[in-house]
Amino acid sequence: MSDVILDVEGLETLLGGERRLLGAARPPVRAVAGVSLALRRGEILGVVGESGCGKTTLGRTILGIQRESAGTIRLDGRVVSGLPPREARRARHDVQYVHQDAAAALDPWWSVGRSLEEALLINGIGRRAEREARLGRMLAAVGLEPALGRRYPHELSGGQLRRVTLARVLVLAPRIVILDEPTSGLDLSVQATVLRLVRELLGELRLTCLFISHDLSVVRQMCDRVAIMYLGRIVELAATRQLFEAPVHPYTRVLLAAAPRLVAGQDLHAAPILGEPPSPTAVPSGCAFRTRCLHAVDVCATREPALEPAGAGRTVSCHRWREIPAAPVTAD
């Protein structure tokens, strides 16, 4: 059995671009612009990048609720992309997604129990006794009292809401879960408990996880490997330790430098100011990062770098990674 459970190759997702009633069509945004990655059985793979870089769209496309415009997705070696939406979701029912906005993911008019039960009904788990048993088990697994099932979303704290959204997805017995910003909007103390719970559950249920976050410290703590995303592309992917101890891509370096506590021995004042990323409707030619890169040269403007192996277990897309000194980058 291959150790790869989910394989994504050259995935591209276009958003928007619909023709409006009056006026010209707006150009679509290439929110996912050629992503390749492989999820290994049982691992937690982090996807991290600034807001708007396409993390959520990548998750939704892998899930199959957002249609890919190019590329291939394989689940256990079987192609599950290029299908009409309903079939795509059916083929990928082993993949489930936990929404980044826990409150928005639940129907405000439904009790928590009803929301959870509905998830089972939709997925054809029809016997009442079976549903109740599963719900009870799952609420307990996420550390919630069964009585909480009678409450409504607005009666729950942020941490409880997170637990409910986790339960709602895990009750479907997926093999792969995509967690989208699972700690956004939570206090640090609640965040720590939720992360501990997520880790325990993923381990106990032997799940594979794509863990989306913009928070480097959370990713460092949770993930086995990390992919760094920039304007719809993966610029570097490596084992977590490798990535944090010796970042290679100039963007990874800048990101880590902007969060100086993460890099041992690094000068707190060395973090270069990043500014805003370019708009996804106006991506620079060649390397998408070149306009913010301290190391860009002519070739960076003319040729898009491919994601290529850069030492054991690491891939990087940068024309210049070999020439950039190994020390953490500092602003000139």
Ligand X SMILES: Nc1ncnc2c1ncn2[C@@H]1O[C@H](COP(=O)(O)OP(=O)(O)O)[C@@H](O)[C@H]1O
One residue of 11, 48, 53, 307 binding ligand X per CB under 6 A:
53
**Which residue number places its CB atom closest to Mg ion?**
56
Close Cβ partners of 182 (under 8 Å, ≥ 6 residues apart): 98, 100, 162, 166, 194, 195, 198, 211, 213
> 61, 69, 71, 64: which is closest to 28 by C-alpha?
69
One residue of 159, 182, 247, 280 binding ligand X per CB under 6 A:
280
Binding mask 57-86 for ligand X (x = CB under 6 A): x-----------------------------
**Which residue number places its CB atom closest to ligand X?**
16
Angle at 165 between CA 107 and CA 128, to 5 degrees: 75
Phi/psi region, residue 185 (left: phi>0; alpha: psi -120 to 50; beta: rest), is left
Residue among 49 and 149 whose Cβ is closer to ligand X: 49
Question: Whole-number minimum distance, CB 3 to ligand X, in Å?
Answer: 28
Binding site for Mg ion (CB under 5 A): 55-56
Residue among 15 and 270 whose Cβ is closer to ligand X: 15
Residue among 55 and 92 whose Cβ is closer to ligand X: 55
Picked from ligand X, Mg ion, none, the partner binding residue 54 (CB below 5 to 8 A depending on kind) is: ligand X
Question: Whole-number minimum distance, CB 312 to Mg ion, in Å?
Answer: 31
Does 51 engage in binding with ligand X (CB under 6 A)? yes
- Scanning 51-59, 69-77, 255-263, 310-318 for contacts with ligand X by CB under 6 A, the matching segment is 51-59
The stretches of the chain forming alpha helices (DSSP H) are: 55-63, 85-91, 112-122, 128-141, 158-170, 188-204, 216-222, 240-245, 250-258, 298-302
Q: How far is CA 37 from CA 8, 57, 225, in A?
A: 5, 15, 11
- Scanning 53-61, 132-140, 195-203, 266-274 for contacts with ligand X by CB under 6 A, the matching segment is 53-61
Does 31 engage in binding with ligand X (CB under 6 A)? yes
Radius of gyration of the chain (CA): 21
Question: Whole-number minimum distance, CB 247 to ligand X, in Å?
Answer: 19
Residue among 179 and 257 whose Cβ is closer to Mg ion: 179
Residue among 276 and 323 whose Cβ is closer to ligand X: 276
Residue among 71 and 328 whose Cβ is closer to ligand X: 71
Question: Whole-number minimum distance, CB 203 to ligand X, in Å?
Answer: 26
- Scanning 45-53, 131-139, 153-161, 237-245 for contacts with ligand X by CB under 6 A, the matching segment is 45-53
Are 77 and 41 within 8 A, CB to CB?
A: no
Q: How far is CA 71 from CA 40, 118, 159, 210, in A?
A: 19, 33, 37, 18
- Report the distance separating Cα 223 and Cα 308, nearest Å: 22
Beta bridge partners of 96: 177
Q: How far is CA 166 from CA 120, 154, 325, in A?
A: 14, 17, 43
Picked from ligand X, Mg ion, none, the partner binding residue 31 (CB below 5 to 8 A depending on kind) is: ligand X
Does 210 engage in binding with ligand X (CB under 6 A)? no
Are 235 and 318 within 8 A, CB to CB?
A: yes
Picked from Mg ion, ligand X, none, the partner binding residue 29 (CB below 5 to 8 A depending on kind) is: ligand X
Beta bridge partners of 122: none
Does 34 engage in binding with ligand X (CB under 6 A)? no
> 118, 140, 128, 275: which is closest to 204 by C-alpha?
140
Question: Whole-number minimum distance, CB 102 to ligand X, in Å?
Answer: 15
Residues that bind ligand X (CB under 6 A): 15-16, 29, 31, 51-57, 280
